[in-house]
Amino acid sequence: MFKQFSALKWLALLGVIVLIALGVAIYFRAPAGPTTVRVTADEFNLKPNVNSVSAGKVTFQVVNQGKLEHEMVILKTDLAVASLKPRAADPDKVDEEALAKNIGEIEDIGVGETKSDTFDLTPGRYVLICNVAGHYKAGMSTAFEVK
Ligand SMILES: [Cu+2]
């Protein structure tokens, strides 16, 4: 009788320990990984599935659904989407450093291809563009916000 009670007591204690361990694991669980933004590129749009994310590591997954090669350049700028300046030597392309900061880019995304990269983004206003000659002017740009 005593031995049986003891076994039950140990079993109950084990149950309590498991519950506490679970609680601790949930409380201290690892923070979520990078935010993923899926961007669709075609002629001539650059469409992210969200227009704002929280600051931190952001993975952009760019899918080329068009018939031409595209890219995605991340510019940190307060300029409006349509107000980026053209390059003096190559007016079909945006000057990525004039009043904007190039944070990074995913280049040479072939037709039907998906390319991803992760960037550490600080709060602010951004513009995403495709800087293949003529594509920005044709409409491949979108405003993006990091909060
Ligand atoms: Cu393009």
Question: What is the token pair recorded at 39?
Answer: 């961007």
CA of 136 to the centre of ligand 1 (A): 7
Looking at residue 81, its amino acid is V
Q: What are the pLDDT tens digits along the chain (147 aa)?
A: 556 667 778 778 777 887 878 777 767 665 667 899 999 999 999 999 999 999 999 999 999 999 999 999 999 999 999 999 999 999 999 999 888 899 999 999 999 999 999 999 999 999 999 999 999 999 999 999 999
* CA–CA distance, 5 with 106 (Å, rounded to integer): 66
- pLDDT digit string (tens) for 135-146? 999 999 999 999
48-84 burial, b for 16+ CB within 10 Å, e for fewer? beeeebeebebebbbbbebebbbbbbbbbbeeeeeeb
Instruction: Give residue-wise pLDDT tens across range 89-118.
Output: 999 999 998 888 999 999 999 999 999 999
CA of 142 to the centre of ligand 1 (A): 12
In the reported structure, the alpha carbon of residue 27 is separated from the centroid of ligand 1 by a whole-number distance in angstroms of 45
